[in-house]
């Protein structure tokens, strides 16, 4: 596993690339493992863990395959989630017109 300085550098690089308020690496259970930026990483990681389980259930009902990435955009905020094999990468930022591009960039990050 990478050392914490490398992980912190990766989180900061992703934060700058995406131009979001914060980014975090989360365990499957919703624990924030690493984060960068100014946002509540612990809460966002916990909430995305719960939401991901529900989205996986919906995907199973629809026979849609494995959940890879998803995002939520409100009037004021955007949340981006990239699912990994045993973890997820989450980010939060201001609402943007092209959330799809940011979502794809997060998914490509640190792959």
- For 78-94, how does the pLDDT look when each residue is reduced to its tens digit (9 = 90+)? 999 999 889 999 999 99
Give me the residue label for tokens 């794809």. Answer: 104
If one counts every other C-beta atom within 10 angstroms of the C-beta of residue 22, the result is 19
Helix (H) or strand (E) holding 18: helix 4-18
Round to whole Å and give the CA distance between 81 and 23.
10
- Number of domains, the chain: 1
Supply the CATH number for residue 30's domain.
Answer: 3.30.450.30
What local confidence, expressed as pLDDT, does residue 3 receive? 45
Sequence-ordered list of residues with C-beta below 8 angstroms from that of 67, at least 6 positions apart, any chain: 52, 55, 56, 59, 83
- Which pLDDT band, with edges at 50, 70 and 90, does 9 fall under? confident
For 18-32, what is each residue's pLDDT tens digit? Answer: 999 999 999 999 999
Structural domain boundaries enclosing 32: 4-108
Residue 34, Cα to own-chain centre: how many angstroms?
A: 12
State yes or no: pLDDT of 5 exceeds 80.
no
Q: Global pTM?
A: 0.88
């Amino acid at each position: 596993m990478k050392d914490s300085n490398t992980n912190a550098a990766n989180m900061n690089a992703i934060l700058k690339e995406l131009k979001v308020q914060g980014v975090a690496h989360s365990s499957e259970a919703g624990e924030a493992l690493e984060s960068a930026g100014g946002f509540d990483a612990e809460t966002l990681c916990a909430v995305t863990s719960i939401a991901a389980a529900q989205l996986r259930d919906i995907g199973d009902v629809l026979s849609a395959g494995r959940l890879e990435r998803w995002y939520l955009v409100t009037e004021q905020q955007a949340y981006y989630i990239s699912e990994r094999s045993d973890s997820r990468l989450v980010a939060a930022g201001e609402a943007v017109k092209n959330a799809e591009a940011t979502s794809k960039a997060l998914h490509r990050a640190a792959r």
